[in-house]
Amino acid sequence: MNDLRPAALRETTRRDLALSDGRTLAYYSLPALAAHFDMPLARVPVSLRVMLESVLRHLDGLRASEAHLRALLGWQAQADRYDEVPFLPARIIAPDSSGVPLLADLAAMRDAAAEAGADPGVIRPQLPVDVIVDHSVQVDHYGSANALLLNEQLEYARNGERYAFIKWAGDALAPLRVAPPGTGIIHQVNLEYWSPGVVERDGVLFPDTLIGADSHTAMINGLGVLGWGVGGIEAEAAMLGQPVMLLMPDVIGVELRGALREGVTATDAVLSITERLRAESVVGQFVEFHGQGAAALGASDRATIANMAPEYGATAAFFPVDVNTLAYYRATGRSEAQVDAIQRYYEAQEMFGVPRAGECDYTRCVIVDLSAIEPCVAGPKRPQDRIALATLPQRFAALLQASRDAGGFAVTNDAPATALQHGDIVLAAITSCTNTSNPALMIAAGLLARRATARGLRVRDSIKTSLAPGSRVVTAYLSRLGLQDDLDRLGFQVVGYGCTTCIGNGGPLAPDIEEQINLGKLVVCSVLSGNRNFEARIHPAIRANFLMSPPLVVAFALAGRIGINFASEALGRDPAGEPVYLRDLWPSQQEIDALLPATRAPSLFDEAYSTRRRDAAWDAVAATPGIRFAWDEASTYLKRPPFFDGFSREASRIESIEGARALLVLGDSVTTDHISPGGIIGEGTSAGRYLQSIGIGSRDFNGYIARRGNHHVMMRGTFANVRLKNRMALDAPGGTTVHWPDGERTSVYDAACRYQAAHVPTVVFAGAEYGTGSSRDWAAKGTRLLGVRAVIARSFERIHRSNLIGMGVLPLEFVRDDSIDTLRIDGSEQFDIALPHAGLAPRQMLELVIRRADGSRANVTVLARLDTPIECLYFTHGGILPYVLRQAIAEGQSS
């Protein structure tokens, strides 16, 4: 192979690019690189070309080495993957939910550095970082013109301590920018405003790339920007200059054919694609959309499809840059010079345009016919469980019966009669960046509301309705078109600009509604235009939650029940008693298209972002300046994280796991919401009792997401989801386990404390797809603080596996046909796992010794899911954060 020495190769491939504004910038040419190595660049998936450019540009022999470049140059579509490659993004984004713990860790690292005799200033961001405060607003008020104002006031009252800390970070941790509450949802803001398409730094032009401390960061892939979600733990390391290392990915080519039919929405498309790609097992892989169907999609539809990459398990869901991408940048207010730079750069790099079928080499190809997609919803508890709208009544009835038979929903025949019935809708929310970023979907919802109000239809009072747009742009164009008034008349007033119902911040139900649900043991429903509907995520009392498009949310709210057959049943009656059917209200694509130009005015985006009114409430938040944060011992929201207590400059040797007990034995599809709930803190929970013990009333508990800066709350909330099923105590509420050897039932938190006091290590057992869902770093942090040394499962979701490693918890996988069931693990056993003191090798096989209460034993082979050398190094150091801190101190002293 030709010369790969960094200096020579960078010089060979450096080129100049003349821009329309008269500037000339340098770039590192992929065509020149391909010619140098006789490489067929056009056959390489476009997403990998972006990775290749990043490694070439950063080629320094350290973070990006000759071996990394050689691995990418030698990528073969069908090959075993052993090499790890670095991803060195241009920037980092984070919402406040993961941003506050991330920033708190950095503040604690500064303390640890100072206490180790080093300069605390060595802990600082090495990349641009944007934090948006979007996960704290809760829907307490709704259905009124002042709901937005009242919710914002409550948000500031509840989160004053957190917001002061974020403002401190904005000053002390430059280059960190903060978007205050009320701006919008992180991924929609990223799409509409933050992403520059291409970045200029030190006279060099290169692609915009990023990682985000939120699962749905991949939404930006809809604009041809390569990026994905990682845990906050990984994001911290990247912020401090560490590359994001990943195993060389497979790239699955998804060829889109045809076009969506009349009446079929982008939401229907993404729910169908989610179901299909889950079945195709794309977890941890790149997905690249191509073909004529992909090329014909507008950027908003592409972003809707890319947004749900975590739901189908893909790392990235990439649509290459093309004319539709440029049209979106222009429509959202990017300057003509910036749009021209994007086009010239991608054309020069031979990365402009969506590849046609057969043009690129993919690991394998999946064909999706858009014309075959039909209206659908997904639920009742997983986003990949698509249900055709036409079959929903029968499917829900079958789900209800199956749950009655299995006891899953605890449906009973002897429950008292109530006004509410099984299948009634009690919450309807137009929410989430997945769909509110798509003007066609929002216009459709508004037009349906306009026709419904014209026919005199109303939503009944028992349904909690809300509209939480992902940006102020949505309100601007809905108001300009008069559609917001129509939505208001049905109760869909704006309640906030941020993640609300989709993340469990839908707020409380009316007391009489919750009383009826509990009294009747009812399976009631929510309908929402979100991307997640995991158990107890939306509301603990709502057992069936269905994802759908915004216009369907309005339709189901009008109908009031999930089991309606829209083809044959009226969703309501007008004042004259005449039936009104969904077909009478559903807008045509022609009507929607006629209004779309009003949503594409650059002035809307300029007003919403560039010249947004000063936020007096945010300006009034006071923050104490200083290079180190002044922790307040009396704070109930912010406690110094304990992860660096007893920090030493040298890593300790790895100790084997001996005499461990099972803290929990879990089944399949355990989500990060099960492990670390993000919604309401209940009075009877360990976290609720703790808050009450320090003088906080239940009205001021706030949610787990808001309390993520307090590890005392989060430890107690770990494995506390009311829907979590622990096989050691199946008939008990979530958060219950059995302490051994005495066999006493107790909370998971109390059992963990007893084990730790007795110096007994613990492990967690699980089935397949452990850790699906949000990139919730506290699912790993809480696991670590409870004393869990290893999680042993059939398989792991990508982000949570990385988070476990990042916290020094060992992910182990059963091999062959071994499982909890075949090994008859019930939690009463003791377990030994011998670990080499010098450290583990990637994907090393280990022996799990099971010692049963009757004296018998079994020796089982398990696979250590440390997939790359850097993951082994992180684990050896007790986690990624101690490793990065040691590196930063060493580098700071040598400079």
Cα 67 to Cα 247, 438, 751: the distances in Å are 13, 42, 47
741 CB-contact burial (10 Å; exposed 0-12 / middle 13-18 / buried 19+) = exposed
**What is the predicted pLDDT for the residue at 838?**
81
What does the alpha-carbon distance between residue 82 and residue 706 come to, in Å, rounded to a whole number?
A: 40
546 CB-contact burial (10 Å; exposed 0-12 / middle 13-18 / buried 19+) = buried
Q: How many CB atoms lie within 10 A of CB 468?
A: 34
Closest alpha carbon to 706 in 104, 159, 160: 159
**Pairing of β 376-378 and β 386-388:** antiparallel
759 CB-contact burial (10 Å; exposed 0-12 / middle 13-18 / buried 19+) = exposed
What does the alpha-carbon distance between residue 873 and residue 818 come to, in Å, rounded to a whole number?
A: 28
Residues in the chain: 895
**What is the predicted pLDDT for the residue at 2?**
60
Mean pLDDT by 10 residues, the chain (895 residues): 72 96 97 94 97 95 86 93 91 94 94 94 94 94 96 93 95 93 96 97 97 95 96 88 90 98 98 97 95 98 97 96 98 96 98 98 98 97 96 94 67 65 97 96 98 97 97 96 98 96 92 94 96 90 96 98 97 96 98 96 89 74 93 93 91 94 96 88 91 92 88 96 93 93 96 98 97 86 97 93 94 97 97 92 96 96 93 93 91 67
Structure tokens of 416?
A: 């008292």
Q: What are the residue ranges spanned by the domains of the chain?
A: 6-84, 249-319+354-374, 378-587, 652-675+724-876, 677-717
**What is the predicted pLDDT for the residue at 66?**
87
Helical segments of 288-354, H only: 292-296, 299-307, 309-312, 323-331, 336-348
Contact 216, 436 (CB under 8 A): no
Q: How many helices and strands (H and E) does the chain possess?
A: 33, 32
Instruction: Give me the residues paired with residue 471 across strands.
Output: 184
**Pairing of β 14-18 and β 24-28:** antiparallel
For helices 96-115 and 147-172, the axis angle rounded to 10 degrees is 30
850-886 burial, b at 16+ Cβ within 10 Å, e below that, comes to beeeeeeeeebebebbbbbebbbbbbbbbbbbbbbbb
**HSE (CB half, 13 Å, CA atoms) of 459?**
28
Structure tokens of 5?
A: 């020495």
* Dihedral in degrees, nearest 10, Cα atoms 540, 541, 547, 553: -130
> Do 249-319+354-374 and 378-587 fold alike per CATH?
no
**What is the predicted pLDDT for the residue at 302?**
98
**What is the predicted pLDDT for the residue at 416?**
61
Q: How many CB atoms lie within 10 A of CB 16?
A: 11
For 793, the enclosing helix (H) or strand (E) is strand 788-793
Closest alpha carbon to 547 in 768, 269, 287: 269
121 backbone dihedrals φ, ψ, rounded to 5°: -70, -10
Contact 557, 465 (CB under 8 A): yes
**What is the predicted pLDDT for the residue at 627?**
96
Domain formed by 378-587, architecture: 2-Layer Sandwich (3.30)
386 backbone dihedrals φ, ψ, rounded to 5°: -70, 140
For 425, the enclosing helix (H) or strand (E) is strand 425-430
The contacts found for 67-71 with CB under 8 angstroms, 24 or more apart, are: 69/4, 69/9, 70/1, 70/4, 71/248
State the distance between the two ends of the chain, measured CA to CA, in whole angstroms.
36
* Fold category of 249-319+354-374 in CATH: Aconitase; Domain 2 (3.40.1060)
Closest alpha carbon to 412 in 430, 420, 424, 400: 400
Closest alpha carbon to 105 in 239, 243, 245, 246: 239
* Dihedral in degrees, nearest 10, Cα atoms 679, 683, 688, 694: 140
Among positive and negative, which fits the CA dihedral 275, 96, 627, 779?
negative
What DSSP string describes 340-383?
HHHHHHHHHTT--SPPPTTSS--SEEEEEEGGG---EEE-SS-T
What does the alpha-carbon distance between residue 825 and residue 430 come to, in Å, rounded to a whole number?
A: 43
Q: What is the three-state SS of 412-427?
A: CCCCCCCCCCCCEEEE
Instruction: Give me the residues paired with residue 255 across strands.
Output: 290, 367
Among positive and negative, which fits the CA dihedral 484, 485, 487, 488?
positive
**What is the predicted pLDDT for the residue at 870?**
86
Contact 85, 31 (CB under 8 A): no
What does the alpha-carbon distance between residue 140 and residue 68 come to, in Å, rounded to a whole number?
A: 51
Give how far the C-alpha of residue 383 lies from the chain's centroid of Cα atoms, to the nearest Å.
13
* Fold category of 652-675+724-876 in CATH: Aconitase; domain 4 (3.20.19)
The 8-class DSSP code of residue 609 comes to: I
DSSP 3-state assignment of 59? strand
* Dihedral in degrees, nearest 10, Cα atoms 116, 119, 124, 126: -110
For 475, the enclosing helix (H) or strand (E) is helix 472-480
Contact 215, 310 (CB under 8 A): yes
Identify the residue whose tokens are 């006071």: 622
Instruction: Give me the residues paired with residue 862 across strands.
Output: 814, 846
For 443, the enclosing helix (H) or strand (E) is helix 439-454
